[in-house]
C-alpha cells in the first residue's frame, strides 16, 4: 500500500480519530479530578480553568473529568465489542464459506435469522435481564449481536477464494483445514476485515451510547452515553445547562464521524477499482465493500452508502 | 460508388491527471459506399478510440483536438468545442458496442429501448408505429418477434448481440462503427452476426461499416479493405487480399505472420510471434495501397 | 407465476424469523435468576405505599398471569396464545394498566412521527443524491460531504443539538412533549395546529439524518450508473437524456430500496431515542420509563413490536424489489 493512495479525506479522518483516542488515553492523566468527586453545585456553569472548565453536572461532578473518563469508557466498549463482532463474524464466515456443504447451510441459516432480527431488540432484552451491567458484559452482548453481517460478507468472499488455484495447491500438499484458512484464504480478506472492523467499532460505540441513553448502560462507570442519560433525566437541556450535554454529544459525533470517514477513505485505498475510470466501473460490482451504518445502534449496513464512492466526479479532475 | 465517409486529420488525446496520451495521431480515412473497412491492431493501437471518435461518442477524458467528418456530403467539425448534434448519432452514424451484454439496461424490456430510440429522432412517432417498424426489421433479419417483449437476461449472448445490431441500425444510419462485435461470441454466433451485417449492407439498411477488431481471421471474411493501426497511426491500408498476402509495412508483416490460419496455403509457414520482431522497425512510414 | 413463488418464499421466511423472535422475546427476560414476581413485589414493597394485602393481590395476579407454576413450554404457549390475541399482559410499573392500553396510547405518536420522516427522508435524500451526481462540480462536493456528515451524526446527537439551539436558545419551537399543557388530544384543527409546533423539531432531526444517509448512497449509485455501458450506448444512439435518466433511476433505485430495508432497524431505534430526547409521548419514552421501572411486560411488548415492524418493512421491501427488478424474480425461481 503506497502513501500516494491516501487522500486528504484519510488524513482528516485519521486526525479526528487520533484526537479522540488521545483524549481517552491521556485525558485522565491530565485531569486530576476523579469523575465521581463532588466539586461544585448543581449545574455550575464553566469557569476557567481546571476541574470546572466545563462546569458541573447534576451531581456536582466535573463535566470535564466525566468527559475524558467517559470517552475512555465508550472507546473501550466500542473497541472490545467491535473486536468480538469482527472475530466471531470472521470465523463463522470463513468456516462456512470455505467448507461449504451442510456446515455452510447451517451457519448461513443462523446468520440470516440473526440478520433479520433487529439487534437492538436482542440487546435491550438481554441487558434488561442481566443481574449486573459493567463494561465487559455490555461489550460482550453488543459484540455477540453484531457479528452477523460480517459473517455474511466474509462468507461470500471466502467461498469465492475457495475456488482459486493456490487453495487447491495447499489442499493437495496436505495442509490442514485451519492452516489453509489462516494462510491461503485470510490474507485475501484482510483489507476487507480491517474495514469491517472499523465499521464495527463505530457501530458498537453507537450501540453503547444508545443503550446508556435508555438507561441500560454500565452501572459502575461513566460513558458518553450515560452522561447524556443523566443530562436528559435531569432536564439540563431545558434549563439551558449546555455544558452538561454538548461536550459528550460533540465527542460522540466526532468519533463516529471520524471512524466512518476513515472507513470510506480506506475503501478507496484498498479497492483501487472504486476510483475513477471505465475499467474501474466495469469490475466494481455492488457488494464489493463493507457498507456503513446509519443512526443509533447502526451496525446494520445501509445500501450503497460508502460502497461505491468514486472520488468526487472524474469530471472535476479534468483540465 | 461514391465516397461515403471522409474522416480527415483526426487527433484524439486522453487527458489524464499526470500526462496526456495521444491515442489517435493525425489519422485520415475514407470509406466507399458498400464497403467494410476493417480496423486492425493490437490493444492500445488507438483503433477503438478512432472508432468511437467517428461514431461521435468520444467523451472525457478523451478529447478530440482536431478532425473533420464528412458523411454523404454533410460536414461536421469534431475538434475543440465543436458541438455534435445529437440527431447525428444513431441516424447518420451509429455504433455497435463491444459486449452487447452490458449495453442493454437490465431493467427495461427491449421494446422500451426501441421506442425511446425512435421517438428521440421523431417526436411524432407513436408507440405502436415504432414497435411495428421494429418488428418488421427484426423478423426480416431472422430473429423472432418475441425478442421485443423480452428482458435482456432472457436472451442468449448471441441473440443479444444480434438484437443490439438491429437496434443500432433501426434508423438506417449511413455508417455503422462496430467495435469488436464478435469478440465475445462463439464461432457459430460470429458467423451469424457477420452474415447479418452483410445482409444489412446488401439491403441498403446501412451503407458502410467500420469493423474494429484485433481478430484478424474474422476480417478476412468480412472486410473489403483493411487498415492497420499502430500507436495511433495508420501504418498500412489496402484491399483485404493484398493486406493479408502481401503486406509491405514491417508492422503489418509482423501482425499477419503471427496469426494462426488453418488453411492449407499457410500450413507450411512457420508462425513468428510479435515479440520476435524488432519494434523499432515499426516506425517506418505508412504504406497505402491503391 | 414466478412472482407468486417468490412472494411465497418471503412469507414463509418471515414467519420463521418471527417465531424465533417470539422465542427470544419470551426466553431472554426469564434468564433473570430468581422469581421475577417476587422481585417486583419486593420492589413495590420497598417503594412503600403498598400495604400487605394489596401486595398479596398483586403477587397473585402476576403469578397467575405468568403462570410460573407451570412448566416452561406451557408458559410459552400461553404467551404465544396471548400475543396472537393482542393480550400483552399487565404493566408492572403502572399496575393495573394493561400493557396493550399503554402501547395504544403511545403508538400513534410514534407512527405519526417516524413514518412520514422515513418516507420523506428517503425521497428527498434520493433526489438530492441524484441531482448531485448529475450536476457534479461544487454542488456535488458540498452535498456529498454534507450528507456524509449528517448520516454519521448519531440521530440523538442531532436531536439534542437541535433541541438546544432552536428550542432553548432561540425559543422558536417548544421544548418537549407533543402538545401544550392543559390540552387534550382530539381531532380538531386547533389541536392539530398546536401539536404541529411540537412535531417539527423531532421530525426534522430524523428527516435530516435520513436524507444524509440516502443522499450519499444515491449519489454513489448514480455516478456508477452514469458510467455504465448502457448509458453510453443510449447516448451513441442519440436517445434524449430525459429518456435515459429513467433507465438510470430504475437501476440505481434497486440498491437504495434494499438499503432501506437493511437500515429500517437502525432508523426505528434512532427514532425512538429522538422521541426520548424531545419527551415525545411515543414508544421511545414509554420504553425508557419501562426500563427505569423494570417493567418487563411493557419492555417485552415494545421489543416484539419493533421486531414486527422491522420484519414487515423488510417484507414490504422484498415485495417492492420483486416488482421492480425482473432479474430477482428470475434468479429466485431458477429462470436463466
pLDDT digits (tens, 9 = 90+) for C32-80: 665 566 666 666 666 555 566 777 777 777 777 666 667 777 777 877 8
Q: Is the pLDDT of residue A303 over 60?
A: no
Picking from C141, C227, C314, the nearest residue to A312 by CB comes out as C141
Cell of B68: 473533420
Per-residue pLDDT at B1 = 52
Contact C218/A304, CB-based, under 8 Å?
Answer: yes
Residues 6+ apart with CB under 8 A from A171: A180
Q: Is the pLDDT of residue B183 over 90?
A: no
Comparing CA positions, the residue from C322, C259, C281, C288 lying closest to residue C121 is: C259
**B224 Cα to chain C: minimum distance (Å):** 25
C-chain residues near A306 (CB < 8 A): 216, 220
**B48 Cα to chain A: minimum distance (Å):** 14
Mean pLDDT of C152-175: 75
Q: Is the pLDDT of residue B167 over 90?
A: yes
Residues of A with CB under 8 A from a CB of B: 282, 314-315, 317-319
Own/partner long-range contacts of C326-329 (Cβ < 8 Å, ≥24 apart):
C326/B106, C326/B107, C326/B151, C326/B153, C327/B106, C327/B107, C327/B151, C327/B153, C328/C6, C329/C2, C329/C3, C329/C6
Give the position of cell 503489418: B252
Cell of B35: 464497403
Beta-sheet pairing, B3-15 with B36-40: unpaired
**B17 Cα to chain A: minimum distance (Å):** 7
Q: Is the pLDDT of residue B124 over 50?
A: yes
Per-residue pLDDT at C136 = 72
Backbone phi, then psi, for A108, in 5-degree steps?
-65, -40
Q: With bands split at pLDDT 50, 70 and 90, how would you rate the model's confidence at A290?
A: very low
Q: What is the dihedral of CA A194, A198, A203, A205, to 10 degrees?
A: 130
**A281 Cα to chain C: minimum distance (Å):** 7
SS3 for C128-144 is: HHHHHHHHCHHHHHHHH
Judge whether B117 is closer than 8 Å to chain C, CB to CB.
yes
Across A45-54, A147-156, A180-189, least confident range: A45-54
For B161, counting Cβ atoms within 10 Å of its Cβ (0-12 exposed, 13-18 middle, 19+ buried), the class is: buried
Runs of H (alpha helix) within chain C: 2-27, 36-47, 52-66, 72-84, 99-135, 137-152, 155-162, 189-226, 229-236, 241-277, 283-292, 296-324, 326-332
Mean pLDDT of A70-92: 92
Judge whether A234 is closer than 8 Å to chain C, CB to CB.
no
Residue in chain C closest to A230 (alpha carbons) equals C277
B-chain residues near C254 (CB < 8 A): 107
Contact B107/C238, CB-based, under 8 Å?
Answer: no
Q: Which residue has the higher pLDDT, A266 or B167?
A: B167
Cell of A185: 484464504
Across B12-16, C15-19, C44-48, least confident range: C44-48
Helix, strand, coil shares of chain B as percentages rounded to 5? Answer: 40, 25, 35
Contacts with A, C 162-221, CB within 8 Å? 163-164, 168-169, 175-176, 209-210, 212-213, 216-218, 220-221
Per-residue pLDDT at C290 = 85
* Chain B interface mutation, best of C224, C225, C228, C238, highest count of B Cβ atoms under 10 Å: C238
Mean pLDDT of A209-225: 86
Per-residue pLDDT at C81 = 81
**A268 Cα to chain C: minimum distance (Å):** 13
pLDDT in tens, C71-125: 777 777 877 887 777 777 777 666 667 788 888 888 888 888 888 998 898 888 8
Comparing CA positions, the residue from B224, B284, B223 lying closest to residue B253 is: B284
pLDDT in tens, C180-222: 666 677 777 777 777 777 788 888 888 888 888 888 888 888 8
Per-residue pLDDT at B166 = 92
Comparing CA positions, the residue from B242, B198, B187, B215 lying closest to residue B40 is: B215
Judge whether A174 is closer than 8 Å to chain C, CB to CB.
no
Mean pLDDT of C14-27: 86
A-chain residues near C262 (CB < 8 A): 291, 300-303
* Chain C interface mutation, best of B106, B119, B150, highest count of C Cβ atoms under 10 Å: B106
Q: Is the pLDDT of residue A84 over 90?
A: yes
Per-residue pLDDT at C102 = 85
Per-residue pLDDT at A116 = 84
Start-to-end CA distance of chain B, whole Å, equals: 16
A-chain residues near B60 (CB < 8 A): 314-315, 318
Averaged pLDDT score across all residues of chain C: 79
Q: Is the pLDDT of residue B157 over 70?
A: yes
Contact C28/A252, CB-based, under 8 Å?
Answer: no
Helix (H, G, I), strand (E, B) or coil at B89: strand
Across A140-144, A211-215, B263-267, C133-137, least confident range: B263-267
Q: Is the pLDDT of residue A296 over 50?
A: no
Mean pLDDT of B194-206: 91
pLDDT in tens, C247-285: 888 888 888 888 888 788 888 888 888 888 888 888 888
- Helices A242-270 & C137-152, crossing angle to 10 degrees? 120
The H or E element spanning position B96 is: strand B93-96
Backbone phi, then psi, for C279, in 5-degree steps?
50, 35
Residue in chain B closest to C243 (alpha carbons) equals B116
Mean pLDDT of B223-238: 90
Give CA–CA dist B214/A40, Å, rounded.
Answer: 82
Q: With bands split at pLDDT 50, 70 and 90, how would you rate the model's confidence at B178?
A: very high
A-chain residues near C126 (CB < 8 A): none
- Considering chain C, what percentage of its residues have pLDDT values greater than 90? 1
B-chain residues near C229 (CB < 8 A): 97, 99, 102-103
Across A248-257, B11-20, B132-141, C27-36, least confident range: C27-36
Amino acid at each position: 500500500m503506497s502513501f500516494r493512495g491516501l487522500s486528504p479525506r484519510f488524513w482528516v479522518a485519521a486526525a479526528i480519530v487520533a484526537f479522540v483516542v488521545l483524549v481517552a488515553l491521556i485525558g485522565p492523566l491530565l485531569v486530576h479530578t476523579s469523575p465521581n468527586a463532588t466539586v461544585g453545585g448543581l449545574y455550575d456553569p464553566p469557569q476557567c480553568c481546571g476541574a470546572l472548565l466545563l462546569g458541573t453536572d447534576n451531581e456536582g461532578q466535573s463535566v470535564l473529568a466525566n468527559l475524558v473518563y467517559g470517552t475512555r469508557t465508550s472507546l473501550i466498549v466500542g473497541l472490545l465489542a467491535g473486536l468480538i463482532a469482527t472475530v466471531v463474524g470472521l470465523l463463522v464466515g470463513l468456516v462456512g464459506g470455505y467448507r461449504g456443504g451442510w456446515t455452510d447451510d447451517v451457519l448461513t441459516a443462523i446468520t440470516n435469522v440473526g440478520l433479520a432480527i433487529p439487534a437492538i431488540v436482542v440487546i435491550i432484552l438481554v441487558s434488561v435481564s442481566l443481574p449486573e451491567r459493567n463494561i465487559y458484559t455490555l461489550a460482550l452482548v453488543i459484540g455477540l449481536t453484531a457479528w452477523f453481517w460480517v459473517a455474511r460478507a466474509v462468507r461470500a468472499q471466502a467461498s469465492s477464494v475457495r475456488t482459486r488455484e493456490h487453495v487447491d495447491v495447499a489442499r493437495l500438499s496436505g495442509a490442514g483445514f485451519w492452516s489453509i484458512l489462516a494462510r491461503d484464504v485470510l490474507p485475501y480478506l484482510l483489507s476487507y476485515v480491517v474495514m469491517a472492523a472499523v465499521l464495527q467499532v463505530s457501530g458498537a460505540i453507537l450501540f453503547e451510547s444508545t443503550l446508556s441513553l435508555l438507561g441500560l448502560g454500565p452501572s459502575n462507570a461513566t460513558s458518553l452515553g450515560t452522561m447524556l442519560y443523566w443530562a436528559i433525566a435531569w432536564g439540563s437541556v431545558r434549563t439551558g445547562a449546555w455544558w452538561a450535554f454538548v461536550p459528550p454529544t460533540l465527542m460522540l459525533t466526532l468519533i463516529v464521524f471520524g471512524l466512518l470517514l476513515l472507513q470510506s477513505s480506506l475503501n478507496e485505498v484498498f479497492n483501487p477499482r472504486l476510483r475513477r475510470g471505465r475499467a474501474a466501473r466495469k469490475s466494481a460490482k455492488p457488494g464489493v465493500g463493507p457498507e456503513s451504518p446509519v443512526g443509533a445502534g447502526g451496525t446494520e449496513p445501509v445500501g450503497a452508502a460508502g460502497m461505491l464512492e468514486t472520488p468526487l466526479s472524474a469530471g472535476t479532475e479534468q483540465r | 460508388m461514391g465516397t461515403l465517409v471522409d474522416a480527415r486529420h483526426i487527433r484524439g488525446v486522453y487527458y489524464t491527471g499526470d500526462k496526456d496520451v495521444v491515442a489517435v495521431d493525425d489519422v485520415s480515412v475514407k470509406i466507399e459506399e458498400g464497403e467494410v473497412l476493417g480496423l486492425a491492431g493490437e490493444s492500445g493501437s488507438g483503433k477503438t478510440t478512432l472508432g468511437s471518435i467517428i461514431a461521435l461518442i468520444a467523451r472525457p477524458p478523451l478529447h478530440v483536438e482536431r478532425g473533420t467528418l464528412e458523411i454523404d456530403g454533410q460536414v461536421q467539425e469534431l475538434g475543440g468545442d465543436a458541438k455534435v448534434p445529437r440527431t447525428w448519432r444513431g441516424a447518420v452514424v451509429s455504433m455497435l458496442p463491444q459486449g452487447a451484454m452490458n449495453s442493454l439496461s437490465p431493467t427495461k424490456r427491449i421494446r422500451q429501448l426501441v421506442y425511446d430510440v425512435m421517438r428521440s429522432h421523431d417526436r411524432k412517432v407513436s408507440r405502436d408505429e415504432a414497435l411495428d417498424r421494429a418488428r418488421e426489421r427484426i423478423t426480416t433479419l431472422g430473429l423472432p418477434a418475441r425478442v421485443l417483449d423480452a428482458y435482456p437476461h432472457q436472451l442468449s449472448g448471441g441473440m443479444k448481440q444480434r438484437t443490439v445490431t438491429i437496434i443500432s441500425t433501426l434508423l438506417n444510419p449511413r455508417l455503422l462503427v462496430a467495435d469488436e462485435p464478435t469478440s465475445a461470441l462463439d464461432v457459430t454466433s460470429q458467423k451469424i452476426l457477420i452474415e447479418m451485417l452483410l445482409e444489412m449492407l446488401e439491403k441498403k439498411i446501412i451503407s458502410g461499416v467500420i469493423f474494429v477488431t484485433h481478430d484478424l481471421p474474422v476480417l478476412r471474411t468480412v472486410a473489403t479493405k483493411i487498415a492497420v493501426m499502430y500507436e495511433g497511426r495508420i501504418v498500412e491500408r489496402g484491399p483485404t487480399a493484398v493486406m493479408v498476402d502481401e503486406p509491405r509495412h514491417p508492422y503489418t508483416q509482423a501482425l499477419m505472420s503471427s496469426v494462426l490460419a488453418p488453411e492449407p496455403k499457410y500450413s507450411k509457414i512457420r508462425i513468428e510471434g510479435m515479440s520476435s520482431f524488432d519494434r523499432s522497425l515499426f516506425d517506418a512510414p505508412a504504406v497505402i495501397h491503391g | 407465476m414466478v412472482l407468486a413463488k417468490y412472494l411465497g418464499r418471503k412469507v414463509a421466511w418471515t414467519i420463521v424469523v418471527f417465531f424465533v423472535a417470539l422465542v427470544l422475546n419470551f426466553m431472554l427476560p426469564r434468564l433473570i435468576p430468581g422469581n421475577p414476581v417476587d422481585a417486583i413485589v419486593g420492589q413495590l414493597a420497598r417503594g412503600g405505599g403498598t400495604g400487605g394485602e394489596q401486595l398479596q393481590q398483586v403477587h397473585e395476579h402476576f403469578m397467575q398471569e405468568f403462570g410460573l407454576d407451570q412448566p416452561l413450554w406451557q408458559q410459552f404457549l400461553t404467551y404465544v396464545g396471548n400475543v396472537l390475541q393482542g393480550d400483552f399482559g399487565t404493566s408492572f410499573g403502572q399496575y393495573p394498566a394493561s400493557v396493550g392500553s399503554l402501547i395504544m396510547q403511545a403508538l400513534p405518536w410514534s407512527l405519526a412521527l417516524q413514518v412520514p420522516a422515513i418516507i420523506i427522508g428517503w425521497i428527498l435524500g434520493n433526489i438530492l443524491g441524484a441531482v448531485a451526481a448529475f450536476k457534479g462540480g461544487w454542488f456535488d462536493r458540498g452535498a456529498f460531504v454534507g450528507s456524509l456528515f449528517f448520516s454519521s451524526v448519531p440521530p440523538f446527537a442531532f436531536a439534542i443539538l437541535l433541541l438546544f439551539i432552536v428550542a432553548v436558545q432561540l425559543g422558536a419551537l417548544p421544548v418537549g412533549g407533543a402538545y401544550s399543557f392543559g390540552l387534550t388530544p382530539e381531532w380538531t384543527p386547533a389541536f392539530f395546529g398546536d401539536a404541529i409546533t411540537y412535531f417539527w423539531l423531532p421530525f426534522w432531526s430524523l428527516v435530516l439524518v435520513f436524507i444524509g444517509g440516502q443522499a450519499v448512497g444515491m449519489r454513489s449509485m448514480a455516478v456508477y450508473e452514469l458510467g455504465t455501458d448502457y448509458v453510453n450506448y443510449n447516448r451513441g444512439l442519440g436517445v434524449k437524456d430525459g429518456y435515459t435518466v429513467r433507465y438510470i433511476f430504475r437501476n440505481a433505485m434497486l440498491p437504495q430500496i434494499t438499503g432501506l430495508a437493511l437500515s429500517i432497524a437502525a432508523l426505528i431505534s434512532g427514532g425512538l431515542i429522538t422521541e426520548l430526547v424531545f419527551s415525545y409521548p411515543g414508544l421511545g419514552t414509554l420504553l425508557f420509563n419501562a426500563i427505569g421501572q423494570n417493567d418487563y411486560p411493557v419492555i417485552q411488548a415494545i421489543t416484539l413490536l419493533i421486531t414486527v415492524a422491522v420484519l414487515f418493512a423488510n417484507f414490504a421491501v422484498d415485495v417492492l424489489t420483486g416488482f421492480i427488478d425482473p432479474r430477482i424474480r428470475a434468479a429466485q425461481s431458477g429462470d436463466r
